[in-house]
Structure 1
Amino acid sequence: MSKTLHKNYEEVITYAKNVVTRKKIACKELVQACNRFFDDLENEKYDFNPRDAEFCIQIIECTFVHNKGESLDGKPLQGKHFLLEPWEKFIIYNLVGFFLKGTTIRRFKEAFIFIPRKNGKTSFIAALAWSLALLQRRAGSSIYITSAALDQSLQSWKFIHYNIKEMEEEDSFRILDNNQEHSISGEFEDGSLFIKALAANPDRQDSLNCNVGIADEIHAYKKAKQYNIIKEAMKAYTNKLMIGITTAGDNMASFCYNKLQYCLKILSKTITDESYFVFVCRAEQHENGDVDFTDPVQHEKANPNYGITIRPSDMMDEALQALNDPQQRKDFLAKSLNIYTSALKAYFNIDEFRESDKQYDWTIEELAKLPITWYGGADLSKLHDLTAAAIYGTYTVDGKDIDICISHAWFPVTQAHKKADEDAIPLFGWKDDGWLDMCNTPTVNYADIVNWFIKMKKMGFKIKQVGHDRKFCREYFILMKKKGFNIIDQPQYFYKKSEGFRHIEQKAKNKEFYYLHSQAYEYCVENVSAVEKTDDMIQYEKVMPTQRIDIFDASVFACVRKLEALDDEKKINKWF
C-alpha cells in the first residue's frame, strides 16, 4: 500500500519538512531529529511502513478524550476528543514505523523524549501506552509506567483509567486501584494487555517482565538502576521499547543529564546508535551558555505545544518575572525552556572540530607514506579504565600546515559492558570502527600500548619522540625505552599542557586539524571543561565524573612533545 494512502502520512512529512526548511521555528536538536528521519527513509537498512503508527494514532484519537483543561479561548476540554499534534504523530511514526529490512523487527528499541512542562507529555505518554498495549496485544502486551514517585506514574495511569470508564468498558477489564497495586488487565480473542503504574524502586522490582517500559520525569531519578531495572525486564521480547520522557532538571551529576548528553551526541552524529530514537526541544544557548529567555522565538523553540497548551502571553509574563527576580530564573530556564541550569559547559564547540576534520580525507596507510615527523603521547589509566595513545604530526598542503592526530584507545573487556551501560560510553561502537581494542586482562596491559606504537612504526610512521609522565606506569616507560623509542619524561603540569591545548584549539578554529573522522576523539573533545588561568594558561578536566577525555588528553601530550621538540631544535640552530 502506498504511504500516501495513510491518513496522517502527509501531515507528518509536512511537519518534518517545515522543521528542516525552518518554515517552522525549531531548535537545532529538533532539526537534527527531522533530518535523521528523512535520512532513515532513504536508508536501505530499513523498511518504513506507517501501518502500525496509523493504528496507534487512530486508536488514541478515536477512543481517548481529555479529562481536564481548557482551550486557549477558555472553553472546557473535558470530554473532547484527544487529538494529537503533528509533533506527537511524528514521534509515533518514528517509534513504530521503521523495521529492519525484510523483517517484522522494529528498528527502535529505546527512546528519549525531552520537552518542557505543560506540553501535554503526561497525557500523551498515557495515550501512547494505551495504543501500544492494543497494538501488541497478540504478544501478551505488558506495559509498566514508572517514575521516581508513584504519584507521577499514577497521573498517566489514571488518565487511561478515566478513558476506559468514558468508553463504558470498565467491565471488560480487571482494574486494581488500591494501596497495593494500580493495574489494568484485559483479555481479547487474539491477545491480552496489562498496564501497571510503579514507583521506580529497583530494590523491589527484580522479577518484572514487560515489552514496553515508560520512565516518566527521569530527571528525578537518583541512579541509573531505577531506569535499567525496567529496561532489563524486556529481554524476553524482540519488539521491545523503553521510553524515557522528561523535563530538564538542575543536577549535572544526574542519570538524566548523562542520558541527555548521550542522546545529543546521537543527534549530532558524534556517536552512532541506530536503535535509539531521540526527540529534544529546548531553547538555544549562546557559546557562553547564556539564553535569550525573554525572546518569544526561544519560547517557541523549546515548547512544541507553543500556542496550543502553552499560552504565549503567560510564557512572556513568566520570562519577565525571571528577568526581574533572579530567584525565579533557574526554575524558568529548567522547566519552561528545558535548560539544565547547573550543568558545567563544555569548552569546545565540536562543530569547529568537525568542520576542520572534514576538509581532509587521508587514510592511515596514506599518512604512513608521507614525509612527516611524528610525536607520541599516552594517557594510561590507573587500573581498569579507558587508556589512550596518540601520534601527532604536521603536513604542509598549499602553504598551510595541517596538524594530524592519529589516536587509539584500550579498555578491559571485563569492565566494558558495565561502564558502557553505567556511563553511556559507546565503547563497542568504537571497537567496531577500529578506534579501540578490548584487553583480555582485568586491567589495561601497558604492553598493548607499547605494541601499538611498534605497529605504527612498522607501518612507516617516523616517531621521533614519545612523551609520558613516568609517575604513571613506570613499567610502560621502561618498556618503551627497551623497544627503542625516544621516550621523554613529560610531567602533567597544567602550565605545560596549556600550550598543546591552545595549539589544538587554534588549529581546529583555522580548519587545519585532522583526526581521521574518529568518533572516539570527538566524544572526548565534547567532554572537556576548562578554566582560564592567568597569562592565558588553561586548566582542563572532564565535564562530568562519568565521562572520559583520555583520547584528547593523549593528543595534548603528543602535541606538547612536538612543540617542545621544535623549540629545542630552534635553540640549537640559534646557538650554532
Structure 2
Amino acid sequence: MVEKRKKTRSTSSSVDPTTRYAMDVASGKEIAGPDIRNSCKRHLKDLESCHARGLVWDTETAQRAIDFFAKVLKLNGGEHEGKPFNLLPWQCFIVGSVFGWQNSDGYRRFRMVYVESGKGSGKSPLAAGIALYCLVADKEPRAEVYAAATKKDQAMILFRDAVAMVDQSPALAQRINKSGGAGKEWNLAFLQTGSFFRPISSDDGQSGPRPHCALIDEIHEHKNNQVVEMMRAGTKGRRQALIFMITNSGHDKTSVCYDYHEYGRKVAEGSIEDDSFFSFICSLDEGEDPFKDESCWKKANPSLGHTFTDRYLREQVTQARGMPSKESIVRRLNFCQWVDADNPWMSSDVWMGCEEDFSLQELRGEECYGGLDLSGSRDLTALALFFPKKRKLVVEFWTPKDTLTDRAKTDRVPYDAWERDGYIHTTPGKAVKYGFVAERIADLAMQFDIKAIAFDQYRIKYL
C-alpha cells in the first residue's frame, strides 16, 4: 500500500514581507486605497511575468535591505528614541520593491520612486534610512548620496534625520565620519568606498552632482522640475541610481508634483508601462469623505496606530469642522486629497458640481447682476452674470491671443484647448483688448436686463 503524500500550503510566514503585503492588500486583509491596491497588483502580476520581460525578483536582496533597518538603524525623537527601526508592512513593501526588483543584468530595476502619504506617516525617516543603506550597504564605489531640495534648509531636514540615525547606531557611528560640529554637520563620509552623503539645493550653484541616490522631499512645494532634473541629469553614468521622492498631497494640479502623482497612478494601474518607475500613492476611493467616515482614514495614513493615533486625526477633523478655513489643509495633509488652495472660498468639487447645460435663449430678457474683473497681459479677464430668478450663472473669460501658447506651457494650463473648445475668448496682441470686453457687455445688455455690474477698480478706467 502506497502512502499518499500530504499536500502542504505555503503559509504567510514563507512569503517575503514585500509580497506578503501585496497579497494582504489584494485580499482586503490590509486596508489600502485604489492606487496602492494597483501597486500591489502590479507587484503580484510582475512576479508571474517577470522572466519573460527580463526582470528578476531577488528575495534575498529585498530581505537584506529590510533587515538593515531593524538590525542597524534606530529611530529618534519622542517615545521612539533609540528604538530599532522595525519597518511597518507598507514600508517593507517600498523597501523590498526598490531593492528586490532587478533587471536581467543584476542591477536595480526601479530608478525613480514617488511616495505620497498623509503627514506623520514616517516618510522622512524611511527616506533617510534608504539613503544610509545606499551609502554603506549598496556596494557602490564612490557613491554620492544627496538630500536635495530647492533651498538648503529644506534639504537639511532629511539630512538631519540621517545624522541622528548615525548617532543612534553604534555600527554606523564607527564606520561613518561626520564633517561639521554637533548640530552643524554637512557631510557624512563612508571612507571604505570613498562615498559621501550631504545636503544639496538648486540655489547652491553646485555643478556636476553624480548621485547614486538622491532624496527629494516635499515635491508639492517645488515650483518647477529643476531639482528633480538636476539630480536625474547626473545619474546617467550610474548603473543603478535611485531618485527617491516623498511628499504630502498638494493643492496645485498644474505643479510638477501633480505630474508625478498622475504619472505614478497611471504606471501603477498599467495604463503606462515604465519598468523603471515605482509609486506608492496613498489615496481614498471615489466618494469617500474622511470627515464622515473614519473607516477610510488608514488608506491615507498607513502608519495609523503606530506613529500616531486616530484620536489625533479626530481632533483635526473636529477643528476643521469648526474652522472652515482649516478644512482644505486637513484634507490635503491628513487625508491625501488634492485641494485647489489651502484656504479656498469654494472647492473645485463644489464649483464643478454646479455645472449645468442650458441655452442663453432661456434667459433672454431676464433680470441679472454682474461682476467684472479686468486683467492685463498675464491673468484672465472675467465677467459673471447671475440670474436670481432662474438661479443661473453665466461666466465668460478673455485672454491675449499672441501669448496663449507660451503661457499654456509656463502656467501648465491648456489655454489653447480652452480657446479651441470655446471656453474662453482671445483678443489680438499680448494684452487683453478691453474694447472686445466692452462690445461683449453691450451685446449681453441687449439680451438680458443687466441691473448693475460690480467691478474691481484695477484698469477699469481703460474700459
TM over 0.5: yes
Residue 182 of structure 1 is matched in structure 2 by 186
The amino acid of 1:120's aligned partner reads G
Residue 64 of structure 1 is matched in structure 2 by 73
CA-to-partner distance for each residue in 1:32-84, whole Å, 9 max, x for gaps? 11001111111221111022222221122111112112xxxxxx321111111
- Structure 1 residue 185: Cα displacement: 0.7
Aligned counterpart for 2:58 among listed residues 29, 49, 56:
49
1:12 matched to 2:13? The reply is no
Residue 93 of structure 1 is matched in structure 2 by 96
Whether the 8 Å CA contact 1:25–1:297 is kept in 2: the answer is no
Residue 221 of structure 2 is matched in structure 1 by 220
Superposed counterparts of 1:31-430, under 5 Å: 31-43=37-49, 44-45=52-53, 46-69=55-78, 76-101=79-104, 103-168=105-170, 170=173, 172-177=175-180, 182-188=186-192, 191-201=193-203, 204-286=205-287, 291-342=289-340
2:16 match: secondary structure: helix
**What CA distance in whole angstroms lies between the structure 2 residues aligned with 1:7 and 1:200?**
45
Residue 11 and residue 137 in structure 1: after superposition, are their counterparts in 2 closer, same or farther (change >3 A)?
Answer: closer
The amino acid of 1:117's aligned partner reads K
2:191 match: secondary structure: strand
2:234 match: secondary structure: helix
**What CA distance in whole angstroms lies between the structure 2 residues aligned with 1:285 and 1:206?**
44
Residue 21 of structure 1 is matched in structure 2 by 27
Whether the 8 Å CA contact 2:56–2:103 is kept in 1: the answer is yes
Q: TM-score, normalised by structure 1?
A: 0.56
2:188 match: secondary structure: strand
Residue 260 and residue 138 in structure 1: after superposition, are their counterparts in 2 closer, same or farther (change >3 A)?
Answer: closer
Residue 140 and residue 8 in structure 1: after superposition, are their counterparts in 2 closer, same or farther (change >3 A)?
Answer: farther
- Structure 1 residue 275: Cα displacement: 1.1
The amino acid of 1:28's aligned partner reads P
CA-to-partner distance for each residue in 1:447-506, whole Å, 9 max, x for gaps? xxxxxxxxxxxxxxxxxxxxxxxxxxxxxxxxxxxxxxxxxxxxxxx999xxxxxxxxxx
1:258 match: secondary structure: helix
Residue 553 and residue 298 in structure 1: after superposition, are their counterparts in 2 closer, same or farther (change >3 A)?
Answer: farther
**What CA distance in whole angstroms lies between the structure 1 residues aligned with 2:298 and 2:396?**
37
Across the aligned residues of Structure 1 and Structure 2, the Cα RMSD in angstroms comes to 3.7
The amino acid of 1:67's aligned partner reads N
- Structure 1 residue 274: Cα displacement: 1.9
- Structure 1 residue 233: Cα displacement: 1.5
1:546 matched to 2:391? The reply is no
Residue 138 and residue 24 in structure 1: after superposition, are their counterparts in 2 closer, same or farther (change >3 A)?
Answer: closer
**What CA distance in whole angstroms lies between the structure 2 residues aligned with 1:35 and 1:115?**
19
1:19 match: secondary structure: helix
Residue 254 and residue 550 in structure 1: after superposition, are their counterparts in 2 closer, same or farther (change >3 A)?
Answer: closer
1:30 matched to 2:36? The reply is yes
Residue 338 and residue 185 in structure 1: after superposition, are their counterparts in 2 closer, same or farther (change >3 A)?
Answer: same
Kindly tell me the number of residue pairs found equivalent between the two proteins: 360
CA-to-partner distance for each residue in 1:276-307, whole Å, 9 max, x for gaps? 10100123343xxx734332122111111011
CA-to-partner distance for each residue in 1:160-209, whole Å, 9 max, x for gaps? 22232333454643312369971101222xx34211112343x6132211
The amino acid of 2:239's aligned partner reads T
Whether the 8 Å CA contact 1:7–1:54 is kept in 2: the answer is no
1:234 match: secondary structure: coil
Residue 108 and residue 552 in structure 1: after superposition, are their counterparts in 2 closer, same or farther (change >3 A)?
Answer: farther
Whether the 8 Å CA contact 2:18–2:97 is kept in 1: the answer is no
CA-to-partner distance for each residue in 1:107-156, whole Å, 9 max, x for gaps? 11111001111011111111111112223234322111112343333233
- Structure 1 residue 95: Cα displacement: 0.9
Identity across the alignment (%): 20
Residue 363 of structure 2 is matched in structure 1 by none
Residue 98 and residue 281 in structure 1: after superposition, are their counterparts in 2 closer, same or farther (change >3 A)?
Answer: same
**What CA distance in whole angstroms lies between the structure 2 residues aligned with 1:538 and 1:39?**
48
1:263 match: secondary structure: helix
Residue 233 and residue 317 in structure 1: after superposition, are their counterparts in 2 closer, same or farther (change >3 A)?
Answer: same
**What CA distance in whole angstroms lies between the structure 1 residues aligned with 2:279 and 2:316?**
28
**What CA distance in whole angstroms lies between the structure 2 residues aligned with 1:555 and 1:31?**
36
CA-to-partner distance for each residue in 1:347-370, whole Å, 9 max, x for gaps? 99xxxxxxxxxxxxxxxxxxxxxx
Q: TM-score, normalised by structure 2?
A: 0.69
